[in-house]
């Protein structure tokens, strides 16, 4: 089976105080369709940078990323954006909802960008699914943290992505709310047959994933092993 | 197309969420103030022009010594204009054994087309007869005819082959303006009666005039049409051509109004720029998210562009409507206050303001959009990425260049636009550098002051760029307002100073040299005045530096007329008090015997005469040559006796001369004039009282208009302040939340804010006062031609308005920040 995302010898180097520093250091990994994979590590271990590289939001210093069969380094910035639109859904630690848009408009945005015919109906159904059917026209600032993350999850699944990338999805939430959000994410992931790749430092979340990859100082400790 | 629709939907959402409110508001007000100023000054300009045209009796007058081509009249009527013909000629008026040479104007029904004729019938006081003309068989005669012939209303006089009844005393007649200084006693009759007098035969000297009036555009297009077809010997003039003092007043008022409009444009630019900066900043996250969701760079740009253009169109149209409505209100208000009905404006000024607003927005908004599209999608993970970089700085340079071009276009006058631009740029730069230095200085001060002060100063120093921007913008706004205040009071002072209550209202001309002393003593004993008497000879310019003057060599119509006719040349040893030498030296007593000429600088420019040129004049067939040894500036609107050319006494004293003087005749002293006429029958008295009155009414009108326009400039300045404060709203919200969380009370925060705003206001106020003083001096002297006196009040005003205005407004505009609970702020900004 072809991996949905594959990294080969991935390196991201930055210059800090005149010294070269590898934030991501020779990482190779493959994630297959239908899997749920957690990348864990302490703060500053390079988890979010790795996620950014896998999503094509950032370019590696060396190595390559193949996303849904497309090698990202061969694509332009706009080419990578097009792949993202087709393949990916995102959930962020800080939700990243647009403050000027209501809950339903935030969920509609990726659908509208893709030119989907029934953006409002689809968004409505998704918000219903995440339990916010009564809060469609609320602005983000009128919603609690947990509710905002639900909207973000609904937005992430709106275009039916093959791969859902989540960056510390419970980082800004209390334990109970976080647990419910994780539950919701896994449910939707199962329902829609998507692949889940999430970054966390919370062992209770990573334990629910089929595989866990450990990152320390930019290097993968337990590679493809489960 | 897909993007237009999505962009439009996003626009609606952004508008609804209030994201675009400030930008839309800034642009709406900017366009509204530009439109109001533009429309209102248009109306005032038209009104002034019409008011001035009352002096002429028409909007345009065509004059010829031969009958005018009928096509000229037909074309005027075809263009929807009113047109009437008049004839002017001289003839003896006979009453019993007395005869007197009078200037006769024969008019058609409808005369005058502008202004009014005033008559007195003896039964009642003077009354206005706006459209009526003398009935067939009757005449209206002026006070000189009445005085010199001993006439009474109702008596008969002979004119040519016919006898006429004198039906009224002619108190005021617009055609006076056309013939000032060239006339004797006057009477007005119906044109239908001319043939029966038998006075006009082939070879008679008759001046044929066609008076034209109507809608401004039609008059202008008719003027253009007629200029192309004027046969030789036909003169076409509007009031500007006819009276130099009116032209001066009108042009000065117009320049001032353009200046006010340009200031509004400059302030509006700053407001739009600040609002645009905030918009761009808030769009960073939107663009990063769009990129993350897979939109291409150009798609992000297109979506943003649709929103920007959308908000621009909506706000510009709203602004134009608001501007139209507010200038209507102003018009009504003015009408109810002073009874002046302003003519309706065209929509051109409103449209121009809309286009200007849109271009303004795009020139500042488009370059940042181009940089916004390059926001890295990674910003969704790392917020510190992708702030407005150097592309932003370049964008402002580009934007500023666009605005500079716009200001020049709007000014319609490179010099005026250039001054405003140079003044604004100079203020911006100087205030920027000085603010930067002051911030460095404040660092050393802040060690020894209280916590609120320290926080206020720290707040300024923490955002050095934002502080510089705020101070600079406010300084620019305040400088504009102060400059306008200064120039406005100068302008009014200069005008009113020129026309004191005892401004001359009578001219005496055709005084023989032996009559000067008795007239002087008569005026001295009866009125207590001692007017200056100036000798004058009629002379015609025939050559400049030995080259014969050929009227056809002048492209300028006015110059052509000036060299075609004779004008009055005077001589005196002392420079008349209201004249100022601008080049060369005055004809000093020591050199008075040497031939020398002093020429008014305006006419010198028109005729292309320079200092040192040798002019040849023809006086009654004799010629003299003299060099131009000085150029003079003359206050035309002073209503004193003024001359284009003054010669040295030795040069002209030998020619036959008459004398001229002007004096103030107080109300109810007309018996003095009657006595004067009785004792000196050949002296001509010209009543310029009505002319003075009309000019004063015009000045009144202009000063009110200026007050309104000035108010709008102030409004634009307040908007700049608001935009500046709102631009830092989010940052303040976060800071106050943290301070309050750490235990600061409301008072402490308030005091810190007061310190911050007061410092901003003080800096802005001081820079503004300095800039206004410099700019005011420059503009008064170079553009408006007014004397300038430095006014220390401007410094107090600048500092006071700066500190208290900015502090008060700042606290008011930040009240929401202070009222928001800390947790709500932090959550909102999370």
pLDDT score recorded for residue B30 = 77
- Does residue A130 lie in a domain region? yes
- Does residue A27 lie in a domain region? no
- Does residue A11 lie in a domain region? no
| Residue from the list B2, B381, B830 with its beta carbon closest to the beta carbon of A115 | B2
| Residue from the list A96, A109, A113 with its beta carbon closest to the beta carbon of B380 | A96
Longest dimension (CA), chain A: 54
- Does residue A208 lie in a domain region? yes
Query: B566 or B435, which is more confident?
Result: B435
- In chain B, residues with a C-beta closer than 8 Å to the C-beta of A92 are 380-381
* CB-CB neighbours of B115 under 10 Å: 25
pLDDT score recorded for residue A107 = 93
User: B380–A84: do the CB atoms touch at under 8 Å?
Assistant: no
User: B378–A167: do the CB atoms touch at under 8 Å?
Assistant: no
Residue of B141, B138, B137 whose CA lies nearest to B152:
B141
Q: How buried is residue B16: exposed, middle or buried, by Cβ count under 10 Å (0-12/13-18/19+)?
A: middle
Query: B415 or B429, which is more confident?
Result: B429
Summarize the confidence of residues B462-468 as an average pLDDT.
75
User: A51–B291: do the CB atoms touch at under 8 Å?
Assistant: no
- Does residue A207 lie in a domain region? yes
Under 8 Å between Cβ of B86 and B106: yes
pLDDT score recorded for residue A224 = 47
pLDDT tens digit string along B478-524? 777 777 677 666 666 665 555 666 777 787 877 888 888 999 888 88
Residue B696: pLDDT above 80?
no
- Name the least confident of A165-174, B64-73, B486-495, B672-681: B486-495
Taking CA–CA distances from B18, the nearest residue in chain A reads A100
Contacts of A11-16 with C-beta under 8 Å, sequence gap 24+, read A11/A60, A11/A61, A11/A62, A11/A63, A12/A46, A12/A49, A12/A50, A12/A53, A12/A58, A12/A60, A12/A61, A12/A218, A13/A61
Residue A81: pLDDT above 80?
yes
Q: What is the pTM of this model?
A: 0.65
B291: its two tokens: 């990129």
pLDDT grade for A3, boundaries at 50, 70 and 90: very high
Considering chain B, what is the average pLDDT of its residues? 77
pLDDT tens digit string along B160-193? 888 999 988 887 776 654 443 344 678 899 999 9
Distance CA(B356)–CA(B411), nearest Å, equals: 12
Query: B193 or B606, which is more confident?
Result: B193
Specify whether B216 is located in the same domain as B254.
no
B586: left (phi over 0), alpha (psi -120 to 50) or beta: beta
Residue of B776, B769, B772 whose CA lies nearest to B798:
B769
Residue A155: pLDDT above 90?
yes
Q: Which residues lie closer than 8 Å to B154 by C-beta, 6 or more apart?
A: B122, B165, B166, B167
**Alpha-carbon distance A82 to nearest alpha carbon in chain B (angstroms):** 5
Specify whether B154 is located in the same domain as B36.
no
- Does residue A198 lie in a domain region? yes
pLDDT score recorded for residue B291 = 87
Task: Count how many domains chain A has.
Answer: 1
Residue of B87, B107, B95, B109 whose CA lies nearest to B159:
B95
Specify whether B636 is located in the same domain as B706.
no
Residue A20: pLDDT above 60?
yes
Of the candidates B615, B643, B663, which is a domain's last residue?
Answer: B663
Residue B203: pLDDT above 80?
no
> What dihedral do alpha carbons B562, B567, B572, B574 form, nearest 10°?
-30
pLDDT grade for B314, boundaries at 50, 70 and 90: very high
User: B17–A99: do the CB atoms touch at under 8 Å?
Assistant: yes
Write down the residue that tokens 């006062």 correspond to. B769
| Residue from the list B9, B13, B378 with its beta carbon closest to the beta carbon of A52 | B378
B385 touches chain A (CB under 8 A): no
Q: What is the CATH number of the domain that holds A174?
A: 3.40.50.300
Residue of A71, A82, A88 whose CA lies nearest to A196:
A88
- Does residue B514 lie in a domain region? no
Under 8 Å between Cβ of B54 and B175: no
pLDDT tens digit string along B392-421? 566 677 777 877 777 777 666 677 778 777
Residue B391: pLDDT above 60?
no
Cis preceding-peptide flag for B112 (omega within 30 of 0) = yes
Residue B809: pLDDT above 80?
yes
Interhelix angle B746-779/B729-741, rounded to 10 degrees, is: 150
Under 8 Å between Cβ of B175 and B127: no
Residue B664 φ then ψ, to 5°: -95, 120
- The number of helices, as runs of H, and strands, as runs of E, in chain A is 7, 10
- In chain B, residues with a C-beta closer than 8 Å to the C-beta of A100 are 13-14, 17-19, 286
Of the candidates B663, B687, B718, which is a domain's last residue?
Answer: B663
User: B293–A112: do the CB atoms touch at under 8 Å?
Assistant: no
A22 strand-pairing partners = A13
pLDDT tens digit string along B320-361? 998 888 878 777 766 665 555 666 777 787 888 888 888 888
Residue of B745, B749, B717 whose CA lies nearest to B814:
B749
Beta strands in B271-316 (DSSP E): none
pLDDT score recorded for residue B283 = 82
Coarse DSSP helix, strand, coil percentages of chain B, rounded to the nearest 5 percent: 60, 15, 25
User: Which domain covers residue A215, as residue numbers?
Assistant: 33-58+74-220
- Does residue A18 lie in a domain region? no
Specify whether B238 is located in the same domain as B253.
no
- Does residue A167 lie in a domain region? yes
Residue B388: pLDDT above 60?
no
Residue B561: pLDDT above 70?
no
Q: Which residues lie closer than 8 Å to A168 by C-beta, 6 or more apart?
A: A48, A92, A93, A199, A200, A201
- Does residue B603 lie in a domain region? yes
Taking CA–CA distances from B374, the nearest residue in chain A reads A77
**Alpha-carbon distance B296 to nearest alpha carbon in chain A (angstroms):** 5
Distance CA(B482)–CA(B475), nearest Å, equals: 10
User: A82–B296: do the CB atoms touch at under 8 Å?
Assistant: yes
- In chain A, residues with a C-beta closer than 8 Å to the C-beta of B286 are 98, 100
User: B289–A109: do the CB atoms touch at under 8 Å?
Assistant: yes
Residue B732: pLDDT above 50?
yes
Specify whether B254 is located in the same domain as B387.
yes
**Alpha-carbon distance A93 to nearest alpha carbon in chain B (angstroms):** 9
- Name the least confident of A29-33, A53-57, B51-55, B558-562: B51-55
- Does residue B687 lie in a domain region? no
Specify whether B31 is located in the same domain as B116.
no
- Does residue B206 lie in a domain region? yes
Specify whether B535 is located in the same domain as B575.
yes
Task: Count how many domains chain B has.
Answer: 3
pLDDT grade for B675, boundaries at 50, 70 and 90: confident
Q: What is the 3-state secondary structure (H, E, C) of B580-609?
A: EEEEECCCCHHHCCCCCEEEEHHHHHHHCC
B702: its two tokens: 């202009």
| Residue from the list A78, A101, A102 with its beta carbon closest to the beta carbon of B296 | A78
- Does residue B516 lie in a domain region? no
Residue A84: pLDDT above 80?
yes
Specify whether B752 is located in the same domain as B604.
no
Specify whether B620 is located in the same domain as B761.
no
User: Which domain covers residue B110, as residue numbers?
Assistant: 57-242
Specify whether B46 is located in the same domain as B64.
no
Distance CA(A181)–CA(B277), nearest Å, equals: 37
Summarize the confidence of residues B64-83 as an average pLDDT.
88
User: A96–B14: do the CB atoms touch at under 8 Å?
Assistant: no
Specify whether B194 is located in the same domain as B45.
no
pLDDT score recorded for residue B313 = 93
Distance CA(B817)–CA(B809), nearest Å, equals: 14
- CA angle A82–A84–A90, rounded 5-degree value: 150
pLDDT score recorded for residue B493 = 63
Distance CA(B747)–CA(B754), nearest Å, equals: 10
Instruction: Provide the percentage of residues in chain A whose pLDDT is more than 90.
Output: 42
- Does residue B567 lie in a domain region? yes
| Residue from the list A83, A100, A110 with its beta carbon closest to the beta carbon of B17 | A100
Summarize the confidence of residues A97-110 as an average pLDDT.
90
Under 8 Å between Cβ of B15 and B28: no
- In chain B, residues with a C-beta closer than 8 Å to the C-beta of A58 are 376, 378
The CA radius of gyration of chain A, in Å to the nearest whole number, is 17
Of the candidates B618, B647, B663, which is a domain's last residue?
Answer: B663
User: A77–B286: do the CB atoms touch at under 8 Å?
Assistant: no
Distance CA(B413)–CA(B809), nearest Å, equals: 36
Specify whether B367 is located in the same domain as B470.
yes
pLDDT tens digit string along B752-794? 888 888 888 898 899 888 888 887 777 777 666 666 666 788 8
B384 touches chain A (CB under 8 A): no
pLDDT score recorded for residue B679 = 78
pLDDT tens digit string along A117-147? 889 999 999 999 988 999 999 999 889 888 9
pLDDT tens digit string along B101-149? 788 889 988 888 877 777 777 654 555 555 578 888 999 888 778 877 8
Distance CA(A94)–CA(B524), nearest Å, equals: 94
pLDDT score recorded for residue B341 = 62
């Amino acid at each position: 089976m072809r991996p949905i995302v594959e990294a080969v010898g991935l390196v991201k180097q930055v210059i800090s105080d005149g010294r070269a520093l590898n934030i991501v250091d020779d990482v190779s990994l493959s994630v297959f369709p239908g899997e749920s994979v957690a990348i864990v590590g302490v703060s500053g271990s390079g988890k979010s940078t790795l996620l950014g590289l896998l999503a094509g939001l950032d370019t590696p210093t060396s190595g390559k990323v193949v996303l849904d069969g497309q090698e990202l380094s061969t694509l332009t910035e706009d080419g990578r954006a097009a792949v993202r639109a087709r393949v990916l859904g995102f959930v962020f630690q800080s939700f990243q909802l647009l403050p000027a848009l209501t809950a339903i408009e935030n969920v509609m945005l990726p659908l509208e960008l893709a030119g989907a015919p029934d953006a409002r109906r689809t968004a409505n159904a998704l918000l219903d699914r995440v339990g916010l059917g009564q809060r469609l026209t609320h602005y983000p600032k009128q919603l609690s943290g947990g509710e905002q993350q639900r909207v973000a999850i609904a937005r992430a699944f709106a275009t039916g992505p093959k791969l859902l990338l989540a960056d510390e999805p419970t980082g800004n939430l209390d334990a109970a709310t976080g647990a419910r959000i994780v539950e919701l994410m896994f449910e939707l992931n199962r329902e829609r047959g998507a692949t889940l790749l999430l970054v966390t430092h919370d062992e209770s979340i990573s334990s629910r994933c089929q595989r866990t990859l450990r990152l320390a100082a930019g290097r993968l400790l337990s590679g493809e092993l489960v | 197309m897909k993007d237009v629709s999505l962009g439009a939907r996003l626009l609606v959402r952004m508008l609804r969420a209030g994201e675009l409110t400030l930008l839309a508001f800034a642009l709406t007000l900017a366009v509204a103030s530009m439109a109001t100023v533009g429309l209102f000054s248009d109306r005032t300009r038209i009104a002034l022009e019409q008011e001035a045209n009352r002096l002429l009796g028409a909007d345009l007058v065509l004059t010829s010594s031969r009958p005018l081509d009928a096509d000229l009249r037909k074309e005027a009527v075809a263009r929807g204009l009113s047109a009437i013909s008049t004839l002017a000629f001289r003839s003896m008026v006979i009453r019993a054994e007395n005869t007197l040479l009078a200037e006769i104007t024969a008019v058609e029904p409808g005369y005058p087309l502008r202004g009014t004729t005033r008559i007195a019938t003896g039964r009642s006081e003077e009354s206005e007869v706006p459209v009526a003309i003398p009935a067939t068989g009757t005449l209206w005669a002026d006070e000189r005819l009445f005085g010199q012939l001993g006439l009474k209303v109702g008596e008969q006089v002979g004119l040519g082959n016919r006898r006429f009844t004198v039906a009224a005393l002619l108190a005021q007649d617009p055609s006076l303006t056309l013939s000032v200084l060239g006339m004797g006693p006057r009477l007005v009759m119906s044109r239908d009666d001319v043939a029966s007098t038998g006075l006009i035969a082939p070879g008679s000297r008759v001046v044929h005039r066609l008076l034209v009036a109507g809608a401004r555009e039609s008059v202008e297009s008719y003027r253009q049409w007629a200029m192309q077809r004027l046969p030789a010997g036909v003169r076409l003039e509007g009031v500007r051509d006819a009276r130099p003092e009116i032209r001066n007043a009108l042009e000065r008022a117009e320049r001032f109004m353009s200046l006010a409009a340009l200031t509004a444009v400059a302030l509006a630019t700053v407001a739009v720029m600040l609002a645009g900066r905030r918009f761009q900043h808030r769009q960073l996250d939107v663009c990063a998210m769009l990129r993350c969701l897979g939109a291409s760079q150009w798609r992000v740009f297109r979506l943003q562009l649709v929103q920007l253009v959308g908000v621009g169109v909506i706000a510009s149209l709203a602004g134009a409507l608001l501007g139209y409505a507010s200038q209507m209100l102003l018009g009504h208000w003015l009408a109810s206050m002073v009874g002046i009905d302003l003519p309706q404006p065209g929509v051109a000024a409103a449209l121009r303001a809309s286009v200007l607003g849109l271009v303004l927005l795009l020139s500042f908004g488009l370059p940042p959009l181009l940089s916004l599209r390059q926001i890295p999608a990674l910003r969704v993970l790392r917020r510190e990425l992708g702030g407005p970089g150097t592309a932003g700085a370049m964008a402002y340079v580009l934007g500023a260049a666009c605005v500079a071009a716009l200001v020049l276009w709007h000014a319609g006058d490179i010099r005026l636009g250039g001054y405003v631009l140079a003044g604004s740029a100079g203020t911006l730069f100087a205030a920027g550098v000085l603010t930067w230095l002051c911030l460095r200085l404040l660092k050393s001060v802040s060690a020894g002051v209280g916590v609120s002060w320290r926080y206020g100063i720290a707040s300024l120093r923490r955002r050095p760029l934002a502080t510089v921007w705020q101070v600079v913008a406010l300084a620019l706004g305040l400088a504009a307002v102060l400059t306008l205040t200064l120039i406005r009071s100068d302008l009014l002072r200069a005008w009113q100073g020129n026309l004191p209550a005892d401004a001359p209202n009578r001219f005496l001309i055709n005084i023989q040299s032996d009559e000067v002393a008795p007239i002087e003593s008569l005026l001295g004993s009866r009125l207590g005045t001692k007017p200056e008497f100036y000798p004058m000879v009629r002379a015609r310019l025939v050559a400049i530096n030995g080259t014969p003057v050929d009227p056809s060599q002048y492209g300028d119509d006015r110059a052509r007329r000036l060299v075609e006719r004779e004008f009055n040349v005077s001589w005196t040893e002392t420079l008349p008090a209201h004249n100022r030498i601008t080049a060369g030296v005055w004809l000093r007593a020591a050199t008075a015997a040497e031939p020398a000429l002093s020429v008014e600088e305006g006419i010198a420019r028109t005729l292309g005469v320079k200092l040192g040129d040798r002019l040849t004049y023809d006086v009654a067939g004799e010629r003299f040559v003299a060099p131009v040894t000085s150029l003079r500036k003359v206050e035309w609107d002073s209503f004193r006796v003024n001359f284009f050319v003054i010669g040295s006494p030795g040069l002209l004293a030998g020619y036959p001369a008459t004398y001229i003087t002007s004096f103030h005749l107080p109300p109810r002293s007309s018996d003095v004039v009657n006595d004067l006429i009785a004792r000196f029958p050949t002296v001509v008295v010209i009543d310029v009282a009505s002319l003075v009155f009309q000019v004063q009414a015009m000045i009144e009108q202009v000063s009110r208009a200026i007050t309104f326009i000035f108010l709008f400039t102030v409004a634009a300045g307040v908007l700049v302040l608001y935009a500046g404060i709102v631009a830092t709203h989010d940052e303040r919200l976060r800071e106050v939340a943290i301070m309050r969380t750490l235990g600061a009370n409301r008072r402490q925060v308030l005091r810190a804010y007061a310190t911050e705003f007061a410092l901003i206001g003080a800096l802005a106020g001081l820079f503004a006062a300095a800039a206004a003083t410099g700019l005011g001096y420059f503009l008064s002297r170079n553009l408006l031609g007014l004397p300038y006196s430095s006014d220390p009040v401007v410094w107090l005003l600048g500092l006071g308005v700066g500190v208290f205005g900015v502090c008060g407004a700042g606290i008011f505009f930040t009240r929401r920040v202070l009222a928001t609970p800390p947790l709500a702020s932090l959550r909102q900004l999370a």
